[in-house]
Chain A
Amino acid sequence: MIPISWYLLLSAFLFACGVTGFLTKRNIITLFMSIELMLNGVNLSFIAFATRLGTLDGHIFVFFVMVVAAAEAAVGLAIIISVYRTRETLNVDRVNLLKL
């Protein structure tokens, strides 16, 4: 028997780690992995609340989040390969063509 708030604390910690990584990292692949970490934190709170409310709807939502994450990873990594082919770098600071 453990309180649901422990699960939510772990979920918030994972999300905060993801946000920190997204804001501080420079490598574009690491930025994508930080987004995955945030999605995982959200998934954990979906499952915890599903158990709290006693319905399986949270599990379905996690399934959809995973599908969207898979689609995002496929398209995002294709964009990364395309960017690397034209700019020859993975550093997001160097990809500044749209910057004012």
Chain B
Amino acid sequence: MHQFLFLLFGAICAGGAINLLIQRKTINSALSLIVVMGSLALIYLLLGAEFVAVIQVIIYAGAIMVLYIFVIMLLNAGEEEHSKGSNVAKIFGIPGLFAGGIIGIWVLLQHRPADRLIAIGALYGPADKVGMMLFTKYLLAFEVTSILVLIAIMGAVVLARRSNS
């Protein structure tokens, strides 16, 4: 059952990622990214990451992607323009890609780390445990993050404001 669920959501996730690449309209890419994020939230639930799955849906699929779609509709982004690819990419890129892939596979086969099976519920991350850790062990990072968010808010307001000059 675990394998079936993982393969199902993993296939949806991979299909969404490929669809993001092959679509030419920006709005279709955005919608397939939402599919990827939703199926990733279900995979997080399979791994027991309850809190992360919920904030994945709320923040990523909810807030961030709504912002993206809002901007796409605001700027009326249509189909992507075709442009000529560079010759350097064709000459060096494709052989380089193959060489890099072969080297990567070779290194992985040489130093193969021990694999481990994980079951549903091997680790359980509910909101209270994660929150307790966030406010004790990672309190400084959490407070610094609030400054980052404040600066991001001010930056977004300043950048998107129509200048009068």
Q: Which residues of A contact B (CB under 8 A)?
A: 1-7, 10, 13-14, 17-18, 20-21, 24-27, 29-30, 32-34, 36-37, 40, 43-44, 47-48, 50-52, 54-57, 59-60, 62-64, 66-75, 77-82, 84-85, 90-91, 93
Chain B count of residues within 8 A CB distance of the other chain: 68
Residues from chain B with a CB closer than 8 A to the CB of A75 are 152, 155-156, 159
| Among candidates B72, B117, B130, B157, residue contacting A59 with C-beta atoms closer than 8 Å | B130
The verdict on A26 contacting B80 (CB below 8 Å), with A51-B123, A74-B153, A75-B156 known, is yes
| Among candidates A5, A30, A56, residue contacting B80 with C-beta atoms closer than 8 Å | A30
State the main secondary structure of chain A at its contact with B: helix
Q: Kindly provide the distance from the CB of A81 to the nearest chain B CB, expressed in whole angstroms.
A: 5
Q: Which residues of B contact A (CB under 8 A)?
A: 2-3, 6, 10, 13-14, 17-18, 20-21, 26, 29-30, 33, 36-37, 40, 43-44, 47-49, 51-52, 55-56, 59-60, 63-64, 67-68, 71-72, 74-75, 77, 80-83, 115-119, 122-123, 125, 129-130, 133-134, 137-138, 141, 145, 148-149, 151-153, 155-157, 159-160, 162
